[in-house]
Structure 1
């Protein structure tokens, strides 16, 4: 078996969290929101389009439990911009950087990264291309 990339990651969010997710992932981070079928009641989740071949499926549910250190750490997303440009975009959008690392190791090698929290407690690593 030879994998090429991660297609999607499923994340539960609070039942009333769709608007917060749209604001954070769409408006503040600038990712595409694909929620037509969700809004039409055709599927129980909506997508955050990270890249042409990668999405987060966000599942609003009453069974949401905030992530803890024992059940979730973070999802890492490679970005095209420099970390300095990402930090400037985050600052302009009012998104607090939780931590910065000079060269964490990942699938594509070592590269600078910043970490932020979404409104539901999930950590998102925004990593420069190695």
Structure 2
């Protein structure tokens, strides 16, 4: 089997967290939200569009439990901006930076990364392109 890339990641969110998800992922981080089929009741999740080939599926559920250190660490998203530009954008958007690392190892090599938490407790790594 020859894998090409990760297509999507599924994350559960609180049933009443859809507006918070849109505000964080779209308005603060600048990712696209694809939710027409969700709004129409045609599928049970909405998508955060990361790139042409990758999305995060957000599944609203009444059974949501915040992630813990024992069952989740982070999702890493490669972005075009430098660490400095990422930090500047996050500051302007009012997003708290949890941690910045100079060169964590990833699938394509070492590059700087900034870590933030979404409204539901998920840790998101915003990683410079190698």
Match in the other structure for 2:40: 40
Counterparts in 2 of 1:1-130, with a 5 A limit? 1-130=1-130
Q: 2 CA distance for matches of 1:32 and 1:92?
A: 18
Q: 2 CA distance for matches of 1:86 and 1:103?
A: 15
1:34: Cα distance to partner?
0.2
Question: What TM-score do the two structures reach when normalised by structure 2?
Answer: 0.99
Q: 2 CA distance for matches of 1:71 and 1:63?
A: 16
Runs of 4+ in 1 over 3 A off after TM superposition: none
Q: Deviations over 1:40-84 (max 9, x none)?
A: 111000000000000000000001100000110000000001111
Please state whether the residue corresponding to 1:60 is helix, strand or coil.
strand
1:110: Cα distance to partner?
0.3
**Corresponding pairs, count:** 130
Question: What TM-score do the two structures reach when normalised by structure 1?
Answer: 0.99
**Unmatched runs of 5 consecutive residues or more in structure 1:** none
**Unmatched runs of 5 consecutive residues or more in structure 2:** none
Q: 1 CA distance for matches of 2:61 and 2:101?
A: 33
